[in-house]
């Protein structure tokens, strides 16, 4: 049973890590005013967050059914990854919004080449 607990924790880490990475890539795309790319990355982040939540919900249901989850440092680490992924995704949504506003302003003012390499 111990091995199963680690497997679930690593599945959670993988899903959360994918979500966080995708959200960070969305920010990078938005910085380049590539809003299609940003939205595609955010879709991937959202799907990964949903998978992580599914895994977490299964653990909660198991605990509620009287089958306790063994708490170990890997599971704590996995939960931390999920929290960071959620926060990064929320921040990415805000950054994308801000970059969209910046693009509108620069277009309206006729400013080009605002993006630095």
80 is known to lie in a ligand binding site: yes
C-beta of residue 1 within 8 angstroms of C-beta of residue 62: no
Is-catalytic flag, 53? Answer: no
Beta-carbon count within 10 A of 78 CB: 26
User: Nearest CA to 10 among 45, 52, 54?
Assistant: 52
Q: Using CA atoms in the order 32, 35, 38, 39, what is the torsion angle rounded to 10 degrees?
A: 180
Cα–Cα dist 36/29, whole Å: 8
Active site residue: 53, 77, 81, 97, which one? 77
Q: Which parts are annotated binding residues for Mg(2+)?
A: 80
| Residues acting as catalytic residues | 77
Q: Which parts are annotated binding residues?
A: 80
């Amino acid at each position: 049973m111990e091995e199963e607990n680690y497997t679930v924790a690593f599945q959670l880490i993988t899903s959360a890590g994918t979500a966080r990475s995708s959200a960070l890539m969305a920010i990078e795309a938005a910085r380049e005013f590539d809003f299609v790319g940003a939205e595609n990355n955010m879709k991937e982040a959202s799907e990964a967050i949903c998978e992580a939540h599914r895994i977490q919900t299964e653990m909660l249901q198991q605990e509620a059914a009287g089958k306790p989850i063994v708490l170990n440092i890997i599971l704590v680490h996995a939960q931390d990854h999920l929290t960071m992924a959620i926060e990064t995704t929320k921040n990415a949504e805000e950054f994308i919004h801000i970059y969209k506003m910046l693009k509108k302003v620069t277009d309206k003012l006729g400013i080009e080449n605002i993006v630095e390499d």
